[in-house]
Amino acid sequence: MRAFGRWTVRHRWWVIGGWVTLVAVLLGLSQAAGGAKYQNAFAFPESDSQTAQAIVERDFPSASGDVDRIVLHTSQGTVRDVAVRERVEPMLEQVARLPHVVSVASPYTPQAQSISRDGATGFASVTFDAGAKDLPTSAINKVVDTAQSASAPSLQVELGGQAIAEVESSGPGPLMAIGLGASALVLLLLFGSVTATAMPLVTVLVALGAGGSVTGLVTHVMNISSATEGIASMIALGVGVDYSLFIVSRFRTLLAEGRDPKEAAAGSMNTSGRAVLFAGGIVVLALLVLLLFGVGITSGIAVGSAIEVFFTMAAALTLLPAVLSLLGPRVNSLRVPGRRLTGATTLSPRYRRWADLVQRRRWIATVGVTLVMLALSAPVLSMRQGNPDAGTDPSHTTTRKAYDLLADGFGPGFNGPLQLVATLPSHAAAPVVDQLAAAIKSAPGVASVSLPRTNSDGTTTVLQVVPTTSPQAAATSDLVHRLRDTVIPRATADSGVAVHVGGPTAGFIDLSSLLAGRLLPFVAVVLVIGFLLLLVVFRSLAIPLTAAVLNLLSIGAALGVVSFVFQHGLTGLPPSPVSFAVPVMMFAIVFGLSTDYQVFLLTRVQEEWQAHRDNARAVREGMGRVSGIITGAAVIMIAVFGAFALGGQLLFEQIGIGFAVAVALDAFLLRFILVPAVMYILNDRNWTLPRWLNWLPQVHIEEEEPVGTLDEPSLATSQSAGDG
3-state secondary structure of 707: coil
Q: Is the pLDDT of residue 364 over 90?
A: yes
Cα separation values, 374 from 521, 559, 560, Å: 22, 11, 9
- CATH code reported for the domain at 411-508: 3.30.70.600
Cα separation values, 150 from 69, 80, 84, 86, Å: 15, 15, 9, 10
What does the alpha-carbon distance between residue 408 and residue 388 come to, in Å, rounded to a whole number?
19
What does the alpha-carbon distance between residue 680 and residue 553 come to, in Å, rounded to a whole number?
19
Spell out the SS3 assignment of 635-675: HHHHHHHHHHCCCCCHHHHHHHHHHHHHHHHHHHHHHHHHH
Q: Give the bridge partners for 159, in sequence order.
A: 70
Q: How does residue 632 score in pLDDT terms, banded at 50, 70 and 90?
A: confident
Residue 595, H or E segment = helix 581-612
pLDDT at 445: 93
Model pLDDT for residues 527-537, shown as the tens digit of each residue: 888 888 888 88
What does the alpha-carbon distance between residue 4 and residue 21 come to, in Å, rounded to a whole number?
21
What amino acid occupies position 681?
I
pTM of the model: 0.83
> Looking at per-residue confidence, does 713 or 287 come out higher?
287
pLDDT at 341: 53
Q: Is the pLDDT of residue 717 over 50?
A: no
pLDDT at 268: 85
What does the alpha-carbon distance between residue 48 and residue 296 come to, in Å, rounded to a whole number?
16
Mean pLDDT of 450-463: 87
Instruction: Look at strands 385-386 and 101-105 and give their pairing.
Output: unpaired
Q: Is the pLDDT of residue 718 over 90?
A: no
Do residues 126 and 95 lie in contact, with contact meaning Cβ atoms separated by under 8 Å? yes
What does the alpha-carbon distance between residue 630 and residue 266 come to, in Å, rounded to a whole number?
22
pLDDT at 348: 63
What does the alpha-carbon distance between residue 550 and residue 40 come to, in Å, rounded to a whole number?
34
What amino acid occupies position 243?
Y
% the chain with pLDDT above 90: 34
Model pLDDT for residues 60-119, shown as the tens digit of each residue: 876 667 889 999 999 999 999 999 999 999 999 999 999 999 999 999 987 778 899 999
Q: Is the pLDDT of residue 573 over 60?
A: yes
Mean pLDDT of 518-544: 86
Q: Is the pLDDT of residue 345 over 50?
A: no
Non-local (6+) Cβ contacts of 443 within 8 A are 479, 482, 483, 487
Q: What is the DSSP string of 521-576?
A: HHHHHHHHHHHHHHHHHH--SHHHHHHHHHHHHHHHHHHHHHHHHHHTTTTSSPP-
pLDDT at 661: 94
Model pLDDT for residues 690-708, shown as the tens digit of each residue: 888 777 777 666 555 554 4
pLDDT at 406: 94
Q: What is the DSSP string of 156-194?
A: EEEEESHHHHHHH---SHHHHHHHHHHHHHHHHHHH-BH
Non-local (6+) Cβ contacts of 281 within 8 A are 313
- CATH fold of 348-378+519-690 reads Multidrug efflux transporter AcrB transmembrane fold (1.20.1640)
Instruction: Look at strands 578-579 and 385-386 and give their pairing.
Output: parallel
The domain locations on the chain are: 1-35+172-337, 67-160, 348-378+519-690, 411-508
* CATH superfamily membership of 1-35+172-337: Multidrug efflux transporter AcrB transmembrane domain (1.20.1640.10)
Q: Is domain 67-160 in CATH 3.90.1150.10, yes or no?
A: no
Least confident span in 368-372, 410-414, 670-674, 711-715: 711-715
3-state secondary structure of 701: coil
CA quadruple 391, 393, 396, 400: dihedral sign = negative
Q: Is the pLDDT of residue 335 over 90?
A: no
Model pLDDT for residues 211-251, shown as the tens digit of each residue: 999 998 998 888 787 778 888 888 899 889 988 988 998 88
Mean pLDDT of 181-200: 88
Q: Is the pLDDT of residue 513 over 60?
A: yes
What does the alpha-carbon distance between residue 228 and residue 666 come to, in Å, rounded to a whole number?
25
> Looking at per-residue confidence, does 72 or 426 come out higher?
72
Least confident span in 2-6, 41-45, 46-50, 500-504: 41-45
3-state secondary structure of 123: strand
| The most confident of 563-567, 568-572, 712-716, by mean pLDDT | 563-567
Q: What are phi and psi of 455, to 5 degrees?
A: -75, 175
pLDDT at 64: 64
What does the alpha-carbon distance between residue 378 and residue 412 come to, in Å, rounded to a whole number?
30
Q: For residues 574, 579, 582 and 583, what is the CA-based torsion angle, rounded to 10 degrees?
A: 110
Non-local (6+) Cβ contacts of 433 within 8 A are 422, 424, 452, 461, 463, 497
Do residues 706 and 394 lie in contact, with contact meaning Cβ atoms separated by under 8 Å? no
Q: How does residue 709 score in pLDDT terms, banded at 50, 70 and 90?
A: very low
What does the alpha-carbon distance between residue 466 and residue 418 come to, in Å, rounded to a whole number?
6
Mean pLDDT of 343-358: 69
> Looking at per-residue confidence, does 305 or 697 come out higher?
305
Model pLDDT for residues 586-613, shown as the tens digit of each residue: 888 888 888 877 887 888 888 888 888 8
Q: How does residue 711 score in pLDDT terms, banded at 50, 70 and 90?
A: very low
Q: Is the pLDDT of residue 408 over 90?
A: yes
Q: How does residue 712 score in pLDDT terms, banded at 50, 70 and 90?
A: very low
Model pLDDT for residues 128-154, shown as the tens digit of each residue: 988 777 788 889 999 999 999 999 999
Shared fold status for 348-378+519-690 and 411-508? no
